[in-house]
A = this chain, B = another copy of it.
Amino acid sequence: MDTPLDARRVRNPGQTREKILDAAQVLILDHGFSATTVDAVVGRAGITKGAFFHHFPSKSDLGRALVERHAATDREHFLAQLARAEKLAADPLQQVLLLIGFYEEEFDAMEEPYPGCLFASYIYEHKLFDDGTLEILKDAALFWRAQMKAKLEQVMAAYPPNRAVELDSLSDLFYSITEGAFVMTKTLGDKTMLSRQTKHLRTYLELLFAK
Protein backbone atom coordinates (compact mmCIF):
# COMPACT_ATOMS: atom_id res chain seq x y z
CA MET A 1 0.00 0.00 0.00
CA ASP A 2 1.92 2.99 -1.24
CA THR A 3 -0.49 5.70 -0.07
CA PRO A 4 0.81 9.19 0.65
CA LEU A 5 0.42 8.55 4.38
CA ASP A 6 2.46 5.37 4.19
CA ALA A 7 5.11 7.22 2.20
CA ARG A 8 5.26 9.86 4.90
CA ARG A 9 5.60 7.18 7.53
CA VAL A 10 8.46 5.56 5.65
CA ARG A 11 10.19 8.92 5.38
CA ASN A 12 9.84 9.49 9.12
CA PRO A 13 8.93 6.29 10.90
CA GLY A 14 10.11 7.54 14.32
CA GLN A 15 7.78 10.52 14.15
CA THR A 16 4.72 8.37 13.39
CA ARG A 17 5.54 6.07 16.28
CA GLU A 18 5.79 9.05 18.64
CA LYS A 19 2.51 10.46 17.32
CA ILE A 20 0.79 7.17 18.08
CA LEU A 21 2.27 7.07 21.58
CA ASP A 22 1.31 10.69 22.26
CA ALA A 23 -2.28 10.11 21.13
CA ALA A 24 -2.56 6.91 23.16
CA GLN A 25 -1.22 8.58 26.28
CA VAL A 26 -3.79 11.38 26.22
CA LEU A 27 -6.64 8.93 25.65
CA ILE A 28 -5.49 6.43 28.29
CA LEU A 29 -5.16 9.07 31.02
CA ASP A 30 -8.79 10.07 30.45
CA HIS A 31 -10.48 6.74 29.61
CA GLY A 32 -8.14 4.08 30.96
CA PHE A 33 -6.36 1.48 28.86
CA SER A 34 -9.29 -0.89 28.39
CA ALA A 35 -11.66 1.73 26.96
CA THR A 36 -9.02 3.19 24.65
CA THR A 37 -9.55 1.56 21.26
CA VAL A 38 -7.05 1.29 18.41
CA ASP A 39 -9.60 3.19 16.29
CA ALA A 40 -9.59 6.08 18.74
CA VAL A 41 -5.78 6.20 18.81
CA VAL A 42 -5.60 6.09 15.02
CA GLY A 43 -8.21 8.87 14.78
CA ARG A 44 -6.46 11.11 17.27
CA ALA A 45 -3.00 10.51 15.80
CA GLY A 46 -4.31 11.18 12.27
CA ILE A 47 -2.67 8.09 10.79
CA THR A 48 -3.88 4.97 9.01
CA LYS A 49 -4.67 1.73 10.77
CA GLY A 50 -2.01 0.15 8.58
CA ALA A 51 0.59 2.54 9.98
CA PHE A 52 -0.56 1.73 13.50
CA PHE A 53 -0.15 -2.02 13.07
CA HIS A 54 3.16 -1.51 11.30
CA HIS A 55 4.49 0.01 14.54
CA PHE A 56 2.49 -2.00 17.07
CA PRO A 57 1.31 -5.53 16.21
CA SER A 58 -1.29 -5.32 19.02
CA LYS A 59 -2.79 -2.91 21.54
CA SER A 60 -0.85 -4.74 24.22
CA ASP A 61 2.42 -3.96 22.40
CA LEU A 62 1.37 -0.33 22.36
CA GLY A 63 0.66 -0.45 26.10
CA ARG A 64 4.09 -1.86 26.79
CA ALA A 65 5.91 0.61 24.53
CA LEU A 66 4.03 3.54 26.02
CA VAL A 67 4.98 2.76 29.60
CA GLU A 68 8.56 2.01 28.54
CA ARG A 69 8.77 5.47 27.00
CA HIS A 70 7.16 7.06 30.04
CA ALA A 71 9.57 5.29 32.42
CA ALA A 72 12.60 6.30 30.35
CA THR A 73 11.48 9.96 30.17
CA ASP A 74 10.66 10.02 33.86
CA ARG A 75 14.08 8.63 34.75
CA GLU A 76 16.05 10.93 32.44
CA HIS A 77 14.14 13.90 33.72
CA PHE A 78 14.78 12.99 37.34
CA LEU A 79 18.50 12.52 36.70
CA ALA A 80 18.74 15.79 34.77
CA GLN A 81 17.10 17.76 37.60
CA LEU A 82 19.29 16.02 40.16
CA ALA A 83 22.40 16.86 38.15
CA ARG A 84 21.29 20.52 38.00
CA ALA A 85 20.77 20.56 41.77
CA GLU A 86 24.17 18.97 42.37
CA LYS A 87 25.82 21.55 40.16
CA LEU A 88 24.09 24.49 41.84
CA ALA A 89 24.65 23.47 45.46
CA ALA A 90 27.40 21.60 47.31
CA ASP A 91 25.33 20.76 50.36
CA PRO A 92 23.25 17.55 50.07
CA LEU A 93 20.25 19.03 51.90
CA GLN A 94 20.22 22.03 49.58
CA GLN A 95 20.50 19.63 46.64
CA VAL A 96 17.40 17.68 47.74
CA LEU A 97 15.47 20.88 48.37
CA LEU A 98 16.48 22.23 44.95
CA LEU A 99 15.53 18.98 43.24
CA ILE A 100 12.02 19.11 44.72
CA GLY A 101 11.86 22.84 44.04
CA PHE A 102 12.68 22.31 40.36
CA TYR A 103 9.71 19.94 40.08
CA GLU A 104 7.54 22.57 41.77
CA GLU A 105 8.65 25.17 39.24
CA GLU A 106 7.67 22.88 36.40
CA PHE A 107 4.30 22.08 37.94
CA ASP A 108 3.72 25.82 38.39
CA ALA A 109 4.59 26.53 34.77
CA MET A 110 1.94 24.18 33.37
CA GLU A 111 -0.97 25.93 31.73
CA GLU A 112 -3.42 23.05 32.06
CA PRO A 113 -4.04 20.74 35.02
CA TYR A 114 -1.55 17.88 34.81
CA PRO A 115 -3.29 15.00 33.03
CA GLY A 116 -2.06 12.37 35.50
CA CYS A 117 0.51 9.62 35.68
CA LEU A 118 0.57 6.66 33.33
CA PHE A 119 1.99 4.46 36.10
CA ALA A 120 -1.06 5.04 38.30
CA SER A 121 -3.43 4.63 35.37
CA TYR A 122 -1.91 1.22 34.60
CA ILE A 123 -1.80 0.13 38.23
CA TYR A 124 -5.56 0.65 38.57
CA GLU A 125 -6.07 -1.72 35.62
CA HIS A 126 -3.12 -3.94 36.48
CA LYS A 127 -4.82 -7.24 35.68
CA LEU A 128 -4.88 -6.19 32.00
CA PHE A 129 -1.06 -6.11 31.75
CA ASP A 130 1.59 -8.79 31.61
CA ASP A 131 4.29 -9.23 34.25
CA GLY A 132 6.91 -7.50 32.10
CA THR A 133 4.81 -4.34 31.89
CA LEU A 134 4.08 -4.35 35.63
CA GLU A 135 7.80 -4.82 36.27
CA ILE A 136 8.40 -1.45 34.57
CA LEU A 137 6.06 0.27 37.05
CA LYS A 138 7.81 -1.42 39.95
CA ASP A 139 11.25 -0.47 38.64
CA ALA A 140 10.15 3.15 38.29
CA ALA A 141 9.03 3.36 41.93
CA LEU A 142 12.22 1.61 43.09
CA PHE A 143 14.37 3.93 40.95
CA TRP A 144 12.92 6.97 42.73
CA ARG A 145 13.43 5.29 46.09
CA ALA A 146 17.06 4.41 45.33
CA GLN A 147 17.90 7.88 44.02
CA MET A 148 16.26 9.72 46.88
CA LYS A 149 17.72 7.31 49.41
CA ALA A 150 21.29 7.82 48.19
CA LYS A 151 20.87 11.57 48.51
CA LEU A 152 19.06 11.41 51.87
CA GLU A 153 21.82 9.22 53.29
CA GLN A 154 24.25 12.06 52.54
CA VAL A 155 21.83 14.50 54.15
CA MET A 156 21.51 12.37 57.29
CA ALA A 157 25.27 12.10 57.62
CA ALA A 158 25.55 15.90 57.61
CA TYR A 159 22.34 16.75 59.48
CA PRO A 160 21.12 14.45 62.26
CA PRO A 161 17.31 14.38 61.84
CA ASN A 162 15.24 16.06 64.55
CA ARG A 163 12.91 13.05 64.75
CA ALA A 164 13.61 9.36 64.29
CA VAL A 165 12.55 8.60 60.72
CA GLU A 166 12.80 5.52 58.59
CA LEU A 167 14.90 6.14 55.49
CA ASP A 168 13.17 3.95 52.87
CA SER A 169 9.72 5.41 53.44
CA LEU A 170 11.14 8.93 53.62
CA SER A 171 12.75 8.25 50.25
CA ASP A 172 9.38 7.11 48.87
CA LEU A 173 7.57 10.23 49.99
CA PHE A 174 8.37 12.33 46.89
CA TYR A 175 6.87 9.62 44.67
CA SER A 176 3.79 9.09 46.81
CA ILE A 177 3.02 12.78 47.33
CA THR A 178 3.20 13.44 43.58
CA GLU A 179 1.07 10.38 42.77
CA GLY A 180 -1.50 11.52 45.33
CA ALA A 181 -1.42 15.07 44.01
CA PHE A 182 -2.00 13.76 40.45
CA VAL A 183 -5.19 12.05 41.69
CA MET A 184 -6.30 15.27 43.43
CA THR A 185 -5.44 17.41 40.39
CA LYS A 186 -7.63 15.22 38.20
CA THR A 187 -10.40 15.09 40.81
CA LEU A 188 -10.61 18.83 41.46
CA GLY A 189 -9.33 20.08 38.08
CA ASP A 190 -6.98 22.31 40.06
CA LYS A 191 -3.61 22.80 38.41
CA THR A 192 -2.04 24.33 41.54
CA MET A 193 -2.42 21.11 43.52
CA LEU A 194 0.86 19.52 42.47
CA SER A 195 3.28 22.27 43.43
CA ARG A 196 1.37 23.05 46.62
CA GLN A 197 1.50 19.46 47.81
CA THR A 198 5.13 19.05 46.84
CA LYS A 199 6.09 22.20 48.71
CA HIS A 200 5.04 20.51 51.95
CA LEU A 201 7.62 17.81 51.34
CA ARG A 202 10.27 20.52 51.11
CA THR A 203 9.03 22.14 54.31
CA TYR A 204 9.03 18.74 56.03
CA LEU A 205 12.64 18.07 55.05
CA GLU A 206 13.67 21.58 56.12
CA LEU A 207 12.14 21.02 59.56
CA LEU A 208 13.44 17.48 59.88
CA PHE A 209 17.02 18.47 59.14
CA ALA A 210 17.04 22.00 60.63
CA LYS A 211 20.11 22.57 62.81
Contact surface of A with B, Cβ cutoff 8 Å: 29-35, 116-117, 119-121, 123-128, 137-138, 141-142, 162-163, 165-166, 168-170, 172-173, 175-181, 183-184, 186-188, 193, 196-197, 199-200, 203-204, 206-208
Q: Which residues of B contact A35 (CB under 8 A)?
A: 32, 34, 125, 127-128
Q: Is the CB of B31 within 8 A of A127?
A: yes
Closest to A194 in B: B176
- Contact with A137, one of B30, B116, B187 (Cβ below 8 angstroms): B187
Known: A124-B124, A179-B179. A206 touches B163 (CB 8 A): yes
Q: Is the CB of A179 within 8 A of B184?
A: yes
Which residue among A184, A197, A208 has the maximum number of chain B CB atoms within 10 Å of its CB? A184
